[in-house]
Chains A and B, each alone.
Chain A
Amino acid sequence: MAEVVQSELSCPACGGQRHFDPAAGLLSCDSCGATEDLSSPWDGAAQKEHPVHGNTVPATERPSQSADTADVTHVQCQACGSQLTFVGLSLSERCGYCDGPVVRKDPDPTYAPMALIPFAIAQDAARLAQDQWIASRLFPPRDLPERVAEGTTRALYVPFWTIDAQEATTYWAKKTVRSGKNTRVENISGEQVFTFDDLLMPASPLVTPLIRDGILHEFEPARLRPYTAGYIAGFAAEQHAQTLADGLAANRKDRRLLIRNRIRKKYGWSGVHSITFNTDTSGVHYRRILLPVWITHYTDGRGVASKVVTCGIHGRTYGERPFSRRKVLAASMAVVVATVLFGLIWGAGAAL
């Protein structure tokens, strides 16, 4: 049976259970309301990035146990004695009997979070942000707000990587240049070092790269705090299922797309094509962190499971949404009718 952190989470004044209060940013007692500030003089250390030398994965990053998400771990609630089940890489749960926060002790150091950014947005504010996001969608099915309102909202610390890298790039491309009726294709080549700082890579299928880019516009390392049970008390939390090598491989695809984009931008964007490049990656630094999100799972009218996600730091919201076929067809029809009318008048006038 795995060990859990629970007695440290109980209130020193009354022995009640405590959870992290996002609005106050403090550990708060459910019984007497006493609060505790979790900040410490060592908080700055959470910003530390860890180097990867060449292609060598650090020894601390070699899994000592499988990251099989089907694994089940049984733990005993120290408050009421009931048995809880942690599924997969879950780090934190609430006891189903006494509702007390239970945090898993000593996760595999290979996957254990190094730091986290605590929740700063409470559930009410997150739901409001999600309602506003849903209300601002174009061409949604009529019942979408009700379906999202019926959905289940969960607070979750989601695993992410932050990755820094320098890419010494040698590239070749072509640029089509038009002047009057003449068109010519120029060959372009060059070398440049592209620097990437704190690229965020989700390590959980719950947050796709699309949702990441919707909810996390800015990442402030100064908000990072060392991983401690107090911050995740009362919230679900998930360990990294990916090894560092997997995280770097997933991030490499992002970096290649960004490099391609930067090359196009450098040459004026228009007409730049057939881009090929080689890169030599160096200076890779990483952090294995947890970021707070509010996720509402709902089922749309076609029975497809979807989610709306709110960043637990700033409240920015993004998600998956269905379209109303009827509304989309009506919009398409309106655009086509306008275009056809314009074409008919143009053709009848025979201006060209």
Chain B
Amino acid sequence: MVVSPLPILLCLPLVVISALIGMPMVKKLVQIREARHELKRNSTSYIMGIAGWSVIAFWLMATWFFATILGDWAATDDAAGAIDRSFTRLWVLLQIAAEVAAND
């Protein structure tokens, strides 16, 4: 297996940017937890509190998607090929994202 250092180095900005973007998502996660455990079931605040959870899934899916490209690139040392191969994953992710959005 070929291990190229560049994609591994690129993981660093991915982690930093995704972690910064993820801060409101973590707060949202806490709010959802509090809504589920502490707010009156089916009240207006409960409904509004748990709504919007799909953004957390989108954030994680996007982070995972870019990481898979970097992993593929690191293993094959072929950036263009890694991007080409990611389209299948992207299609599957978009299907999952549509399902997630429909359930939010």
Contact = CB atoms under 8 A, between A and B. Distances in A.
Interface of A: 138-139, 176, 178, 209-210, 212-214, 216-217, 254, 257-258, 261, 269-271, 273, 318, 323, 325, 328-329, 331-333, 335-337, 339-350, 352
Contacts of A212: 43, 45
A217 B43 CA distance: 9
Of A271, A336, A347, most buried by chain B (CB within 10 Å of CB) is A347
Contacts of B45: 209-210, 212-214
A343 B66 contact: yes
A333 B26 CA distance: 10
Contacts of B64: 339-340, 342-343, 346
Main secondary structure of the interface of A (DSSP, over half): helix
A328 B26 contact: yes
Which among B25, B39, B65, B103 has the highest number of chain A CB atoms within 10 Å?
A: B39
Contact of A332 (B1, B23, B46): B23
Interface in B55-96: 60, 63-76, 82, 85, 88-89, 92
| 10 A-B pairs closest in CB distance | A343-B67, A347-B71, A347-B68, A344-B71, A332-B22, A213-B45, A347-B72, A348-B75, A213-B43, A348-B71
A200 to B, nearest CB: 9
Q: Report which residue of A214, A254, A258 has the largest number of chain B beta carbons within 10 angstroms of its beta carbon.
A: A214
A254 B22 contact: no
27 contacts: A209-B45, A212-B43, A216-B40, A217-B40, A257-B48, A258-B47, A269-B103, A270-B102, A328-B23, A328-B26, A328-B27, A329-B19, A332-B20, A332-B22, A333-B15, A336-B15, A337-B15, A339-B63, A344-B71, A347-B70, A347-B75, A348-B1, A349-B75, A350-B75, A350-B76, A352-B88, A352-B92
